[in-house]
Structure 1
Amino acid sequence: MTRIAHLSDLHFGFHRSELVEPLLDRVNAARADLVVVTGDVTHRARPAQYSQAAAFLSRIEAPVMVIPGNHDVPLYNLPVRFLMPWRGFRRAIGPQLTPCRQIGRVRVMGLNSVDPSAVQRGIIRDGEIARLEHSLDPEAMNIVAVHHPLEHLAQVDKELSRRAPEALARLDRAGAQIALSGHLHVWATGAMLDQTAHPGLLQVQAGTALCGRLSDRQNEFAVLQIDGPFLSIERHIAPMGQAAFRPPQHEYFSRESGVWVAHQPAEEPIVPGATETVLSTA
């Protein structure tokens, strides 16, 4: 049995400072084998924001792997954005943009979907899909960790990453079983499973762990517990205006037949946060 905590979209610099300690306490209490952070650790990739993010991550007791998000490259400093986009991330967070971790029979592979030439929209680069296909462990539960989702709910108005449909189809065929993502500040699991043409790959799209944008309505993170073909997910939610997390909600899935089956009705995603303009937050 393996426990993975999934955090995304911390947005240090535009974060709820009063929720930092409760989040750390709850993450450390989860006793995860690995903490995966799927991007946007900063709001504008400024040195002070990276310092805050690095200090937060250093206090997580479990091993941590972090993938960059579109907010982790400078927005306004154009020379750095185009010539050295990863400088701040590598200095503060770590040198790897596509880390990989193996924990027993669970393999987590990072995918960097950030496109410095675009502000919001991601990209799956040439060769990255093949790299992941060749990195899959046929004996393990294979998880892809990426900032931009590989598929969007129908009501989301942001552009999907370039080559995302190809990546989703090929990774599903190759045997990847779970994709962790963020970016939209919208939790979606069962709702994605209801609409996708690729039920062999469960998409776990995280809400924002710390962002202070009021239209998101809540902050949250999740803990995945993997036991063979069975998956349980704990959603830890802190409503905006409350500096504490509620008792976790639970979701259950199984993949005994080779495709995922949800054992509860699909959630109703809170989508308004996905419609904000790029220069305000997302």
Structure 2
Amino acid sequence: MSMKLFHVSDVHFGAEDPKALDWFARCVADEAPDAVIMTGDLTMRAKPREFDAGGKWLLSLGVPVTIEVGNHDLPYYWDPLRRLLSPYKRYGAAERLIERTLDLPGVSIIPLKTTARAQWRWNWSKGHVSSGALRDALDLAEAVPKGNLIFVAGHHPLIEGGTRGTAKTRNGEKALAALADAGVHAILSGHVHDPFDKPVQVGDWTVRMIGAGTLSKRLRMSPPAFNEIRIDGGRFETLARTLSPEPKHQISRTSRAGLS
């Protein structure tokens, strides 16, 4: 089984980079990945026109797509009723792609919600994994066909990946341990706007924390970027694709899923 996935995040329609979006769309058209995994922050301010533009852009790619919810995709603090009561009502063209499980030959991609409508701290942009969200992800992992690679997709890294940006995800370590125990091979995320691939040992199991860059104008340490995940049998590797003179570089070694 040989497969290619494109992992993209933090497109931030409303602050998007048109040049980066066109570049990514050309890569999809030229290379035909088996799926696109979008790990949140499709929009900048959760406005209907941003969701509509982002959803139409993703649908135009012509490949299977799943979208996770990012903190920027929830209505802001100045619209508290909408944030608490109907936070996903504005997704428009993107609605049917939200938290969509993708079952591909030999690979299952399942969602994990890491956003919260409200938190007991000032900064609601940081990650939070509720017991219900974790239970839903574990139930989906349990139903994956035997022998499949299991990739979990959420917006916030469960633990820090060594980037300048942070997630500070509450219950992240607990979620990571439970997902590793369930046989998850990789956890894909965004939020920090810089790519990384960090193997984490949990008991006898190794789970990979894989973060994507951004296709927006809100750059940090890296140029506009997305991840290419190459799968060959039970092995996979991550390459950061950047809109720069150095367009592609490996950020992980090829490794056998689940093993040290």
Q: 1:90-239 maps to which residues of 2 (within 5 A)?
A: 91-95=92-96, 97-118=98-119, 119-136=124-141, 137=144, 138-153=146-161, 156=164, 158-189=166-197, 192-193=198-199, 196-198=200-202, 200-208=206-214, 210-239=215-244
| Alignment match, 2:83 | 81
Contact 2:201 2:207 in 1 (8 A): no
Instruction: Return the alpha-carbon distance in structure 1 between the equivalents of residues 163 and 210 of structure 2.
Output: 17
Q: Which letter maps to 1:215?
A: R
| Structure 1 residue 214 displacement after superposition | 4.4
Tell me: CA distance 1:17–1:151, structure 2 relative to 1, closer, same or farther (3 Å): same
TM normalised by structure 1 equals 0.81
| Structure 1 residue 203 displacement after superposition | 1.0
Tell me: CA distance 1:232–1:154, structure 2 relative to 1, closer, same or farther (3 Å): closer
Tell me: CA distance 1:259–1:156, structure 2 relative to 1, closer, same or farther (3 Å): farther
| Structure 1 residue 216 displacement after superposition | 4.1
Contact 2:4 2:229 in 1 (8 A): yes
Contact 2:6 2:228 in 1 (8 A): yes
Tell me: CA distance 1:116–1:64, structure 2 relative to 1, closer, same or farther (3 Å): same
| Structure 1 residue 103 displacement after superposition | 0.5
| Alignment match, 2:56 | 55
Instruction: Return the alpha-carbon distance in structure 1 between the equivalents of residues 207 and 12 of structure 2.
Output: 28
Which sections of structure 2, spanning at least 5 residues, go unmatched? none
Q: 1:271-282 maps to which residues of 2 (within 5 A)?
A: none
Report runs of 4+ in structure 1 exceeding 6 Å deviation: none
Tell me: CA distance 1:154–1:217, structure 2 relative to 1, closer, same or farther (3 Å): closer
Instruction: Return the alpha-carbon distance in structure 2 between the equivalents of residues 214 and 159 of structure 1.
Output: 16
TM normalised by structure 2 equals 0.87
Q: SS of the residue aligned with 1:36?
A: strand
Q: Which letter maps to 1:88?
A: R
Q: SS of the residue aligned with 1:200?
A: strand
| Alignment match, 1:252 | 253
Contact 2:43 2:73 in 1 (8 A): yes
Instruction: Return the alpha-carbon distance in structure 1 between the equivalents of residues 84 and 136 of structure 2.
Output: 24
Instruction: Return the alpha-carbon distance in structure 2 between the equivalents of residues 82 and 163 of structure 1.
Output: 21
Q: Which letter maps to 1:86?
A: Y
Q: Which letter maps to 2:147?
A: E
Instruction: Return the alpha-carbon distance in structure 1 between the equivalents of residues 221 and 49 of structure 2.
Output: 24
TM-align CA RMSD: 2.1
Contact 1:30 1:223 in 2 (8 A): no
The Cα offsets for residues 86-116 of structure 1, whole Å up to 9 and x where unpaired, read as: 1112x33124643211111100001121112
| Structure 1 residue 134 displacement after superposition | 2.9
Instruction: Return the alpha-carbon distance in structure 1 between the equivalents of residues 239 and 161 of structure 2.
Output: 21
Contact 1:188 1:205 in 2 (8 A): yes
| Structure 1 residue 254 displacement after superposition | 1.1
Which sections of structure 1, spanning at least 5 residues, go unmatched? 240-244, 261-282
Contact 1:97 1:111 in 2 (8 A): no
Contact 2:9 2:213 in 1 (8 A): yes
Contact 1:28 1:62 in 2 (8 A): no
Tell me: CA distance 1:185–1:47, structure 2 relative to 1, closer, same or farther (3 Å): same
Quick one: percent identity of the two aligned structures?
Answer: 26
Contact 1:2 1:103 in 2 (8 A): no
| Structure 1 residue 42 displacement after superposition | 0.4
Instruction: Return the alpha-carbon distance in structure 1 between the equivalents of residues 19 and 164 of structure 2.
Output: 29
Contact 1:34 1:62 in 2 (8 A): yes
Q: SS of the residue aligned with 1:114?
A: coil
